[in-house]
Amino acid sequence: MALLAAAAWLLKSDLTPGQPSGEAGLRSEWVFLDLPGASRGFVRVQPGEPLGFVVERKAAGLRALLPRAALEAPLEGGDQVLVRAGPASGSPALVLAPLAERIRFLMGRPLNVNRATAQEMELLPGVGPKLGQRIEAFRNLSGEFRSADDLLSVPGVGRALVSKIQSRICFTERVRSFPLLAPGSSAGARGDTLPGLLRSGP
């Protein structure tokens, strides 16, 4: 709840929830940092700004442990950037992943209907509690939606509603993971150490 309140406070503007952020200028371009050596919280970024620029400003000591692909990775409003165990090796990795759908929607990002809870579905115009529950239940039973037209299979969803919400929804999420380099590697680490880098996301 504290994270949601912080996001709402940051985004006090004329931005319409779910409106593509480019339509409202740079005000919606915020990412959440939870990195060693940096204050945990929201940071404003330029659209598509490389992660390396933000790391240099906020957690310069981590830069030497990041591969080039991570430093060049473009950031998107509604991302969170954190260090946690990699999914395969369990070794520390820097992860770029989406924040909770409610927070992303407040930031002007589309709502991912394959990830949103029934309650988060209610953020969409024309979707109430019962319809949100039906959409979630249908997804859990039949699998992920691939397009806006797939929503027409949900009882209570008609063409008019799909037309109203299709610009405010999406169906995929982007999670990027970059294993941290060992100190003394070719990246030119400055003696940084890996222990203690792991953190959990917000």
Contact present, 97 and 80 (Cβ < 8 Å):
yes
Q: How far is CA 72 from CA 4, 41, 47, 52, 129, in A?
A: 28, 21, 13, 6, 41
Contact present, 35 and 59 (Cβ < 8 Å):
yes
For 5-32, letters b (16+ CB in 10 Å) and e give ebbeebbeeebebbbebeebeebbbbbb
Chain segment 109-153, per-residue pLDDT in tens: 999 999 999 999 999 999 999 999 999 999 999 999 999 999 999
Task: Taking residues 93-122, report their average pLDDT.
Answer: 94
CA distance 118 to 45: 30
pLDDT of residue 192: 41
Chain segment 49-68, per-residue pLDDT in tens: 999 999 999 999 899 999 99
* CATH no. for 116-170: 1.10.150.310
Q: Which tokens go with 20?
A: 């593509």
Residues of the chain with CATH 1.10.150.310: 116-170
